[in-house]
A and B are shown apart, each in its own frame.
Chain A
Amino acid sequence: MSAPPLNGLLLAGGKSRRMGSDKADLAVHGPESLRDRGMRLLKDLTTDCFLSIAADDDRPYSIPTLRDALPDHGPLGGILTALELASDRAWLVLACDLPNLDLETLAQLIASRDPTADATCFRSPVDGVPEALCTIYEPSAVTSLRETVGRQKLCARRFLDSLRLNAIPLDNETALQNCNRPEDLEELRLQLEDGRTEKSVTLEFFAKLRDEAGCSAMAHTTSAATAAGLWDEIRLLHNLSMDLDSVRLAVNDEFAPWTRPLAPDDRIAFMPPFAGG
Protein backbone atom coordinates (compact mmCIF):
# COMPACT_ATOMS: atom_id res chain seq x y z
CA MET A 1 0.00 0.00 0.00
CA SER A 2 1.57 3.33 -0.99
CA ALA A 3 1.74 6.20 1.45
CA PRO A 4 -1.04 8.83 1.24
CA PRO A 5 0.04 11.95 -0.70
CA LEU A 6 1.45 14.75 1.43
CA ASN A 7 -0.32 18.12 1.79
CA GLY A 8 1.21 21.13 3.55
CA LEU A 9 -0.23 23.37 6.27
CA LEU A 10 1.41 26.52 7.60
CA LEU A 11 -0.02 27.50 11.00
CA ALA A 12 -0.58 31.25 10.95
CA GLY A 13 -3.78 31.57 12.94
CA GLY A 14 -2.17 32.36 16.28
CA LYS A 15 -2.65 35.58 18.24
CA SER A 16 1.13 36.27 18.59
CA ARG A 17 0.37 37.63 22.05
CA ARG A 18 3.94 37.52 23.35
CA MET A 19 5.41 39.01 20.17
CA GLY A 20 2.95 41.89 20.17
CA SER A 21 2.46 41.77 16.39
CA ASP A 22 1.53 39.05 13.88
CA LYS A 23 4.57 36.74 13.71
CA ALA A 24 3.65 35.64 10.19
CA ASP A 25 4.39 39.17 8.94
CA LEU A 26 7.92 39.21 10.38
CA ALA A 27 10.89 39.17 8.01
CA VAL A 28 14.10 37.64 9.41
CA HIS A 29 16.19 36.51 6.41
CA GLY A 30 15.87 39.39 3.98
CA PRO A 31 12.52 40.98 3.06
CA GLU A 32 10.51 37.73 2.75
CA SER A 33 7.87 37.38 5.50
CA LEU A 34 7.78 34.20 7.62
CA ARG A 35 4.40 33.49 6.03
CA ASP A 36 5.74 33.66 2.47
CA ARG A 37 8.86 31.74 3.45
CA GLY A 38 6.88 28.91 5.04
CA MET A 39 4.52 28.63 2.08
CA ARG A 40 7.48 28.62 -0.33
CA LEU A 41 9.07 25.68 1.52
CA LEU A 42 5.80 23.76 1.57
CA LYS A 43 5.09 24.38 -2.11
CA ASP A 44 8.34 22.65 -3.10
CA LEU A 45 7.66 19.59 -0.97
CA THR A 46 3.91 18.94 -0.91
CA THR A 47 1.05 18.23 -3.31
CA ASP A 48 -1.28 20.99 -2.13
CA CYS A 49 -0.47 23.50 0.57
CA PHE A 50 -2.57 25.90 2.61
CA LEU A 51 -2.21 28.71 5.10
CA SER A 52 -4.11 27.86 8.29
CA ILE A 53 -5.94 31.00 9.43
CA ALA A 54 -8.07 31.88 12.45
CA ALA A 55 -11.86 31.51 12.20
CA ASP A 56 -12.30 35.31 12.37
CA ASP A 57 -9.43 36.31 10.04
CA ASP A 58 -10.99 38.40 7.28
CA ARG A 59 -7.76 39.71 5.71
CA PRO A 60 -7.38 39.24 1.93
CA TYR A 61 -4.89 36.49 0.99
CA SER A 62 -3.53 35.65 -2.43
CA ILE A 63 -2.62 32.10 -1.38
CA PRO A 64 -4.91 29.14 -0.59
CA THR A 65 -6.16 29.32 3.00
CA LEU A 66 -7.84 26.89 5.37
CA ARG A 67 -10.00 28.67 7.92
CA ASP A 68 -10.26 27.09 11.39
CA ALA A 69 -13.64 25.35 11.68
CA LEU A 70 -13.75 26.26 15.39
CA PRO A 71 -12.51 29.56 16.86
CA ASP A 72 -9.87 29.60 19.66
CA HIS A 73 -8.82 25.97 19.48
CA GLY A 74 -5.16 26.76 18.84
CA PRO A 75 -2.90 24.92 16.43
CA LEU A 76 -4.66 21.59 17.03
CA GLY A 77 -7.91 23.18 15.82
CA GLY A 78 -6.21 24.17 12.57
CA ILE A 79 -4.69 20.73 12.12
CA LEU A 80 -8.04 19.02 12.75
CA THR A 81 -9.71 21.25 10.15
CA ALA A 82 -7.12 20.07 7.62
CA LEU A 83 -7.28 16.36 8.49
CA GLU A 84 -11.07 16.37 8.25
CA LEU A 85 -11.10 18.30 5.00
CA ALA A 86 -8.78 15.89 3.15
CA SER A 87 -8.93 12.63 5.04
CA ASP A 88 -7.03 10.75 2.33
CA ARG A 89 -3.97 12.99 2.67
CA ALA A 90 -1.15 13.17 5.17
CA TRP A 91 -0.29 16.70 6.29
CA LEU A 92 3.13 18.30 6.81
CA VAL A 93 2.31 20.93 9.44
CA LEU A 94 4.71 23.79 10.16
CA ALA A 95 4.58 26.58 12.71
CA CYS A 96 5.13 29.92 10.98
CA ASP A 97 7.71 31.20 13.52
CA LEU A 98 10.65 29.01 12.45
CA PRO A 99 12.92 31.44 10.55
CA ASN A 100 15.82 28.94 10.26
CA LEU A 101 13.79 26.00 8.96
CA ASP A 102 15.42 24.81 5.73
CA LEU A 103 14.54 22.58 2.80
CA GLU A 104 17.16 20.00 3.80
CA THR A 105 15.66 19.49 7.25
CA LEU A 106 12.16 19.13 5.82
CA ALA A 107 13.40 16.74 3.12
CA GLN A 108 14.97 14.64 5.88
CA LEU A 109 11.65 14.54 7.74
CA ILE A 110 9.80 13.46 4.60
CA ALA A 111 12.40 10.83 3.75
CA SER A 112 12.07 9.37 7.28
CA ARG A 113 8.28 9.38 7.15
CA ASP A 114 6.59 6.24 8.46
CA PRO A 115 3.01 6.11 7.11
CA THR A 116 2.16 3.26 9.53
CA ALA A 117 2.73 5.57 12.51
CA ASP A 118 0.24 8.36 13.35
CA ALA A 119 2.90 11.07 12.96
CA THR A 120 6.57 11.67 12.11
CA CYS A 121 8.49 14.45 13.86
CA PHE A 122 11.92 15.49 15.20
CA ARG A 123 13.27 15.16 18.73
CA SER A 124 14.55 18.36 20.34
CA PRO A 125 18.38 18.35 20.38
CA VAL A 126 18.33 19.96 23.85
CA ASP A 127 16.03 17.67 25.82
CA GLY A 128 14.99 14.90 23.41
CA VAL A 129 11.30 15.79 23.64
CA PRO A 130 9.30 15.42 20.37
CA GLU A 131 9.00 18.75 18.58
CA ALA A 132 5.43 19.75 17.78
CA LEU A 133 6.40 22.66 15.50
CA CYS A 134 7.20 20.63 12.39
CA THR A 135 5.29 17.35 12.04
CA ILE A 136 3.81 15.01 9.44
CA TYR A 137 0.37 13.81 10.52
CA GLU A 138 -0.97 10.67 8.82
CA PRO A 139 -4.73 10.24 8.20
CA SER A 140 -4.84 7.79 11.13
CA ALA A 141 -4.15 10.67 13.58
CA VAL A 142 -7.59 12.20 13.00
CA THR A 143 -9.43 10.01 15.51
CA SER A 144 -7.14 10.89 18.42
CA LEU A 145 -7.10 14.52 17.33
CA ARG A 146 -10.87 14.80 17.16
CA GLU A 147 -11.14 13.31 20.64
CA THR A 148 -8.38 15.51 22.12
CA VAL A 149 -9.80 18.74 20.67
CA GLY A 150 -13.29 17.68 21.74
CA ARG A 151 -12.03 17.43 25.33
CA GLN A 152 -10.48 20.93 25.00
CA LYS A 153 -6.98 19.53 25.54
CA LEU A 154 -5.25 21.96 23.18
CA CYS A 155 -1.53 21.50 23.91
CA ALA A 156 0.14 20.26 20.70
CA ARG A 157 3.15 18.79 22.51
CA ARG A 158 1.01 16.69 24.85
CA PHE A 159 -1.11 15.56 21.90
CA LEU A 160 2.04 14.24 20.18
CA ASP A 161 2.85 12.18 23.28
CA SER A 162 -0.52 10.40 22.90
CA LEU A 163 0.16 9.25 19.32
CA ARG A 164 2.05 6.31 17.81
CA LEU A 165 5.02 8.51 17.00
CA ASN A 166 7.96 8.11 14.64
CA ALA A 167 10.44 10.55 16.19
CA ILE A 168 13.81 11.11 14.49
CA PRO A 169 16.98 12.99 15.52
CA LEU A 170 17.44 16.56 14.31
CA ASP A 171 20.77 17.12 12.52
CA ASN A 172 20.56 20.89 12.11
CA GLU A 173 20.05 22.08 15.68
CA THR A 174 19.14 25.64 14.64
CA ALA A 175 16.41 24.56 12.20
CA LEU A 176 13.60 24.51 14.77
CA GLN A 177 14.59 27.62 16.73
CA ASN A 178 11.38 29.57 17.03
CA CYS A 179 10.55 33.14 17.90
CA ASN A 180 7.68 33.68 20.31
CA ARG A 181 8.91 36.84 21.96
CA PRO A 182 10.79 39.92 20.72
CA GLU A 183 13.81 38.60 22.68
CA ASP A 184 13.77 35.41 20.59
CA LEU A 185 13.80 37.50 17.43
CA GLU A 186 16.77 39.48 18.68
CA GLU A 187 18.57 36.21 19.51
CA LEU A 188 17.97 34.87 16.00
CA ARG A 189 18.97 38.13 14.32
CA LEU A 190 22.20 38.39 16.28
CA GLN A 191 23.05 34.76 15.52
CA LEU A 192 22.56 35.55 11.81
CA GLU A 193 24.75 38.66 11.98
CA ASP A 194 27.57 37.27 14.09
CA GLY A 195 27.23 33.58 13.35
CA ARG A 196 26.87 30.97 16.09
CA THR A 197 30.12 31.21 18.05
CA GLU A 198 30.91 29.22 21.20
CA LYS A 199 31.61 31.28 24.31
CA SER A 200 32.68 30.26 27.79
CA VAL A 201 30.67 32.09 30.43
CA THR A 202 30.01 31.75 34.15
CA LEU A 203 26.45 31.30 35.35
CA GLU A 204 25.43 32.56 38.79
CA PHE A 205 22.24 31.43 40.50
CA PHE A 206 20.52 32.89 43.56
CA ALA A 207 17.89 31.80 46.08
CA LYS A 208 15.33 29.37 44.63
CA LEU A 209 17.11 29.18 41.27
CA ARG A 210 20.30 28.15 43.09
CA ASP A 211 18.43 25.32 44.78
CA GLU A 212 17.00 24.19 41.43
CA ALA A 213 20.29 24.45 39.51
CA GLY A 214 22.12 22.71 42.34
CA CYS A 215 24.92 25.26 42.73
CA SER A 216 25.61 28.98 43.07
CA ALA A 217 27.99 29.26 40.11
CA MET A 218 29.03 27.10 37.19
CA ALA A 219 31.13 27.34 34.05
CA HIS A 220 29.14 26.89 30.84
CA THR A 221 29.82 26.96 27.11
CA THR A 222 27.09 28.31 24.88
CA SER A 223 26.42 29.21 21.24
CA ALA A 224 23.60 31.55 22.22
CA ALA A 225 24.01 35.14 21.07
CA THR A 226 21.99 36.88 23.82
CA ALA A 227 21.17 36.34 27.47
CA ALA A 228 17.63 35.30 26.44
CA GLY A 229 19.01 32.54 24.19
CA LEU A 230 21.26 31.37 27.02
CA TRP A 231 18.37 31.40 29.49
CA ASP A 232 16.25 29.15 27.23
CA GLU A 233 19.11 26.60 27.15
CA ILE A 234 19.68 26.72 30.90
CA ARG A 235 15.99 26.61 31.76
CA LEU A 236 15.58 23.35 29.83
CA LEU A 237 18.91 21.84 30.94
CA HIS A 238 18.25 22.38 34.65
CA ASN A 239 14.45 22.19 34.53
CA LEU A 240 14.08 25.60 36.13
CA SER A 241 10.64 26.63 37.33
CA MET A 242 10.67 30.29 36.22
CA ASP A 243 10.80 32.14 32.91
CA LEU A 244 11.93 35.43 31.34
CA ASP A 245 8.87 37.28 32.50
CA SER A 246 9.81 36.93 36.19
CA VAL A 247 13.55 36.19 36.33
CA ARG A 248 15.85 39.21 36.75
CA LEU A 249 19.11 39.32 34.86
CA ALA A 250 22.49 40.79 35.78
CA VAL A 251 25.64 40.58 33.66
CA ASN A 252 29.01 41.32 35.30
CA ASP A 253 27.31 42.68 38.44
CA GLU A 254 24.97 45.07 36.67
CA PHE A 255 21.32 44.81 35.61
CA ALA A 256 21.00 44.04 31.90
CA PRO A 257 18.15 43.51 29.40
CA TRP A 258 17.51 40.00 28.06
CA THR A 259 18.56 41.14 24.57
CA ARG A 260 22.09 41.88 25.77
CA PRO A 261 24.66 40.19 23.51
CA LEU A 262 26.92 37.70 25.30
CA ALA A 263 30.71 38.07 25.35
CA PRO A 264 33.34 35.48 26.35
CA ASP A 265 33.94 35.33 30.14
CA ASP A 266 30.71 37.17 30.97
CA ARG A 267 29.26 36.40 34.40
CA ILE A 268 25.53 35.99 34.00
CA ALA A 269 23.36 36.07 37.10
CA PHE A 270 19.84 34.64 37.04
CA MET A 271 17.83 36.04 39.94
CA PRO A 272 14.29 35.24 41.12
CA PRO A 273 11.90 38.16 41.80
CA PHE A 274 13.28 40.12 44.78
CA ALA A 275 11.84 39.65 48.26
CA GLY A 276 13.91 41.74 50.65
CA GLY A 277 13.11 43.99 53.56
Chain B
Amino acid sequence: MDFTDISKNLPNGENMGGIAQKVYFGFWNDVQSWPVKPSTPADIEENGVLTGSVEMKAGKRMFEMYITDDTGEFNVESVGEVDGKSYVLHLNLFHPGMQKKILGFMNAAKNDNLFFIVTDAEGQMYLMGDEMRPAVYQGAPDGGGTGRETAARKGMSAEFTYKTGNVYVYEGTVPLTEATSA
Protein backbone atom coordinates (compact mmCIF):
# COMPACT_ATOMS: atom_id res chain seq x y z
CA MET B 1 0.00 0.00 0.00
CA ASP B 2 1.21 3.50 -0.87
CA PHE B 3 0.31 6.76 0.72
CA THR B 4 -1.63 9.25 -1.36
CA ASP B 5 -2.35 12.96 -0.97
CA ILE B 6 -5.15 13.77 1.43
CA SER B 7 -6.96 16.90 0.30
CA LYS B 8 -9.88 18.71 1.85
CA ASN B 9 -12.71 16.52 0.73
CA LEU B 10 -16.14 17.61 1.86
CA PRO B 11 -18.68 16.58 -0.78
CA ASN B 12 -21.29 19.32 -1.21
CA GLY B 13 -19.58 21.19 1.62
CA GLU B 14 -21.18 18.91 4.19
CA ASN B 15 -19.40 18.19 7.43
CA MET B 16 -22.01 18.30 10.17
CA GLY B 17 -21.37 16.85 13.58
CA GLY B 18 -23.36 14.36 15.59
CA ILE B 19 -24.95 11.09 14.58
CA ALA B 20 -28.29 10.10 13.10
CA GLN B 21 -31.28 9.67 15.36
CA LYS B 22 -31.24 5.93 14.84
CA VAL B 23 -28.63 3.38 15.77
CA TYR B 24 -28.74 -0.26 14.70
CA PHE B 25 -27.84 -3.08 17.01
CA GLY B 26 -28.03 -6.81 17.59
CA PHE B 27 -26.68 -9.62 19.69
CA TRP B 28 -23.08 -10.43 18.88
CA ASN B 29 -23.84 -14.16 19.10
CA ASP B 30 -26.54 -13.86 16.45
CA VAL B 31 -24.09 -12.82 13.75
CA GLN B 32 -23.35 -15.43 11.11
CA SER B 33 -20.53 -13.59 9.37
CA TRP B 34 -18.75 -10.27 9.60
CA PRO B 35 -17.46 -7.90 6.94
CA VAL B 36 -13.85 -8.33 6.00
CA LYS B 37 -11.08 -5.97 7.06
CA PRO B 38 -8.61 -4.82 4.40
CA SER B 39 -5.68 -7.22 4.20
CA THR B 40 -3.69 -5.99 1.20
CA PRO B 41 -5.23 -2.59 0.45
CA ALA B 42 -4.20 -0.83 -2.73
CA ASP B 43 -4.27 2.63 -1.13
CA ILE B 44 -5.02 4.39 2.12
CA GLU B 45 -8.68 4.86 1.23
CA GLU B 46 -9.10 1.13 0.84
CA ASN B 47 -7.31 0.73 4.15
CA GLY B 48 -10.16 2.54 5.88
CA VAL B 49 -13.18 0.54 4.78
CA LEU B 50 -14.69 -2.86 5.49
CA THR B 51 -15.84 -5.13 2.69
CA GLY B 52 -19.17 -6.90 2.91
CA SER B 53 -22.03 -6.82 5.37
CA VAL B 54 -22.96 -8.18 8.75
CA GLU B 55 -24.94 -11.36 8.04
CA MET B 56 -27.23 -12.68 10.75
CA LYS B 57 -27.95 -16.29 11.57
CA ALA B 58 -31.21 -17.73 10.27
CA GLY B 59 -34.14 -16.48 12.28
CA LYS B 60 -32.16 -13.58 13.77
CA ARG B 61 -32.17 -9.91 12.83
CA MET B 62 -30.81 -6.45 13.59
CA PHE B 63 -32.88 -3.78 15.28
CA GLU B 64 -33.01 -0.02 15.35
CA MET B 65 -33.26 2.31 18.31
CA TYR B 66 -34.43 5.89 18.32
CA ILE B 67 -32.24 8.37 20.16
CA THR B 68 -32.90 11.99 21.01
CA ASP B 69 -31.24 14.44 18.63
CA ASP B 70 -27.94 15.88 19.80
CA THR B 71 -27.54 13.22 22.48
CA GLY B 72 -25.76 10.59 20.40
CA GLU B 73 -22.04 10.60 19.88
CA PHE B 74 -19.57 8.31 18.19
CA ASN B 75 -16.12 8.87 19.57
CA VAL B 76 -12.77 7.39 18.56
CA GLU B 77 -10.32 7.17 21.44
CA SER B 78 -6.69 6.28 20.85
CA VAL B 79 -5.22 4.06 23.55
CA GLY B 80 -2.07 2.08 24.27
CA GLU B 81 1.63 2.57 24.70
CA VAL B 82 4.23 3.31 22.02
CA ASP B 83 4.26 0.49 19.47
CA GLY B 84 1.05 -0.79 20.94
CA LYS B 85 -1.55 1.74 19.87
CA SER B 86 -5.13 0.82 19.20
CA TYR B 87 -8.59 2.35 19.53
CA VAL B 88 -11.61 2.24 21.74
CA LEU B 89 -14.78 3.30 19.96
CA HIS B 90 -17.45 4.87 22.15
CA LEU B 91 -21.15 5.21 21.44
CA ASN B 92 -23.17 7.46 23.73
CA LEU B 93 -26.90 7.74 23.37
CA PHE B 94 -30.03 8.88 25.14
CA HIS B 95 -33.44 7.31 24.61
CA PRO B 96 -36.36 9.41 25.86
CA GLY B 97 -38.85 8.00 28.34
CA MET B 98 -38.72 5.04 30.65
CA GLN B 99 -40.94 2.68 28.78
CA LYS B 100 -40.81 -1.07 29.20
CA LYS B 101 -38.96 -1.61 25.92
CA ILE B 102 -35.96 0.57 26.76
CA LEU B 103 -35.80 -0.79 30.31
CA GLY B 104 -35.93 -4.32 28.96
CA PHE B 105 -33.19 -3.48 26.49
CA MET B 106 -30.97 -2.06 29.24
CA ASN B 107 -31.62 -5.09 31.43
CA ALA B 108 -30.56 -7.44 28.65
CA ALA B 109 -27.72 -5.34 27.26
CA LYS B 110 -25.82 -4.47 30.39
CA ASN B 111 -24.09 -7.83 30.67
CA ASP B 112 -24.37 -9.17 27.16
CA ASN B 113 -22.32 -8.95 24.00
CA LEU B 114 -23.72 -6.67 21.32
CA PHE B 115 -22.77 -4.96 18.11
CA PHE B 116 -23.80 -1.51 16.86
CA ILE B 117 -23.89 0.24 13.53
CA VAL B 118 -23.73 4.01 13.89
CA THR B 119 -24.55 6.50 11.13
CA ASP B 120 -23.01 9.96 11.09
CA ALA B 121 -24.65 13.12 9.82
CA GLU B 122 -23.46 12.44 6.25
CA GLY B 123 -24.79 8.91 6.21
CA GLN B 124 -21.43 7.21 6.65
CA MET B 125 -21.67 4.17 8.89
CA TYR B 126 -19.33 2.63 11.45
CA LEU B 127 -19.49 -0.87 12.84
CA MET B 128 -18.79 -1.54 16.49
CA GLY B 129 -18.04 -5.25 16.76
CA ASP B 130 -16.13 -7.91 14.86
CA GLU B 131 -15.65 -11.64 14.94
CA MET B 132 -13.28 -11.31 17.93
CA ARG B 133 -14.83 -8.58 20.05
CA PRO B 134 -18.32 -7.29 20.78
CA ALA B 135 -19.51 -3.90 21.88
CA VAL B 136 -20.25 -3.88 25.58
CA TYR B 137 -22.15 -1.66 27.98
CA GLN B 138 -19.98 0.68 30.03
CA GLY B 139 -22.54 2.66 31.97
CA ALA B 140 -24.73 5.71 31.72
CA PRO B 141 -22.51 8.78 31.71
CA ASP B 142 -25.46 11.08 31.09
CA GLY B 143 -27.55 9.35 33.73
CA GLY B 144 -30.93 7.80 33.50
CA GLY B 145 -34.22 8.26 35.26
CA THR B 146 -36.93 10.82 35.70
CA GLY B 147 -34.78 13.89 36.31
CA ARG B 148 -35.35 16.25 39.24
CA GLU B 149 -37.37 19.14 37.86
CA THR B 150 -40.48 18.91 35.80
CA ALA B 151 -38.46 20.46 32.99
CA ALA B 152 -35.83 17.73 33.25
CA ARG B 153 -35.37 15.21 30.48
CA LYS B 154 -36.68 11.80 31.48
CA GLY B 155 -35.08 8.81 29.84
CA MET B 156 -32.17 6.41 29.73
CA SER B 157 -28.65 7.10 28.55
CA ALA B 158 -26.03 4.50 27.82
CA GLU B 159 -22.47 4.18 26.69
CA PHE B 160 -21.14 1.22 24.72
CA THR B 161 -17.52 0.62 23.83
CA TYR B 162 -15.69 -1.58 21.36
CA LYS B 163 -11.95 -2.20 21.24
CA THR B 164 -10.34 -2.43 17.84
CA GLY B 165 -6.96 -2.24 16.22
CA ASN B 166 -8.20 0.02 13.42
CA VAL B 167 -11.19 2.19 12.58
CA TYR B 168 -13.15 1.48 9.42
CA VAL B 169 -16.12 2.76 7.51
CA TYR B 170 -18.92 0.23 7.13
CA GLU B 171 -20.38 0.18 3.62
CA GLY B 172 -22.59 -2.86 4.04
CA THR B 173 -26.33 -3.13 4.39
CA VAL B 174 -28.49 -3.24 7.49
CA PRO B 175 -31.46 -5.58 7.04
CA LEU B 176 -34.09 -4.91 9.68
CA THR B 177 -35.81 -8.20 9.04
CA GLU B 178 -35.06 -11.82 9.87
CA ALA B 179 -32.40 -13.72 8.04
CA THR B 180 -33.46 -16.98 6.41
CA SER B 181 -31.48 -20.11 5.81
CA ALA B 182 -31.57 -19.77 2.02
**A and B from one assembly?**
no
